Structure 1
Amino acid sequence: MSITDQPSAQERFSCAEYRTQRPYGYGTYAVNLKAVRGDGVMTTVSHYTGPPFGDPWDEITFGIAGKDTTKLEIGYVVRGVGRRDIVIDLGFDAAKEFHTYGFEAKANRIAWTVDGRVVHTAEGGLNDLPQSPGWLYLKFWNGSGQSSWLKPFKYSGRPLTAEIAWVRYEEDTSALSN
């Protein structure tokens, strides 16, 4: 997934985004990727639904900001109310090699993982956690303007590319009924 200097619609740069063709519900999601180091860029994975799909905004997300590729930022949104700003020290540089990032979503728990190890959990009831099936988005994008969160983006003159080796979803069969 690349950021290039080819204009797109109203944007000065083209950014990459992949989305599943249908929504998925509870289960285990994993993505094996190598992030990009660079100010103003973000490699993200989100399980999202919201107004474009006729749903309330529910989201489970994680991302690696290019300004510090040793940190994983995680969060979630429940009916439009965000719970973010959780930063996990990875103990390695996510831009140097491939690692597996993911989460397990259940009705009462979200567990984010790195290389199969749980790094953060959120627990709660039906009103506390995202409940809606969502589309899985993989994005590599740049911020615009001044931002202390990402730092300003300056195009280097060559495409920046985040690499995705694979994506996996395993349905939570305990949530199914006959």
Structure 2
Amino acid sequence: MRVFDSDCTFEYSWEEVSTANWRKYCPWNDKSTHVVAVDTLSRKVEPQTGILRTERLITCNQSAPRWIVSLFGGKALSYVYEISYVDPVSKKVTMCSTNLTWSNVLNVRETVVYQPSPLLPNSKTDFKQEAQITALCSGWQKIKNKVEEASVERFSQNAKRGREGFEAVLQMSRRVFGEQRELENQ
């Protein structure tokens, strides 16, 4: 197993980040063009806690490195199952996802957390991301290591692009919804 982890701070409030999170795969995010569809499977608010729990299926058009495809086969479309929890009281968004495609060869379990920054909780949001990547090629340690290393490298590249794309979504959301608020207040 290999672990990828990353963190950063967005210069936006938790309210802005947690709202824009639902739009991060929108058509004007040019860093997420590989996302073909996002289907909401279920969504409910827990009455006692106010926590919003959402299950989604994310369909991606994502190619694997050729040498992995030649070893294990594969198709252009891949599927990811995601469960998210939005806790408005503690101001915490937790998203947990796992791959459904190639899960018999590679298991990727990702957790993302957004919380207000302790330094400036009203204007900044901390982002933490961790992925546990496990190749399931028992008996082939060298291949297993190569698959995990290549997967962590690709995950790292995609995570960087994802943060850049989300930053663009945040900027656009602030512009659009800031203008909307100004119109409402006139």
Q: State the TM-score, normalized to the length of structure 2.
A: 0.30
Higher strand share: 1
Higher relative contact order (CA 8 A, sep 6+): 1
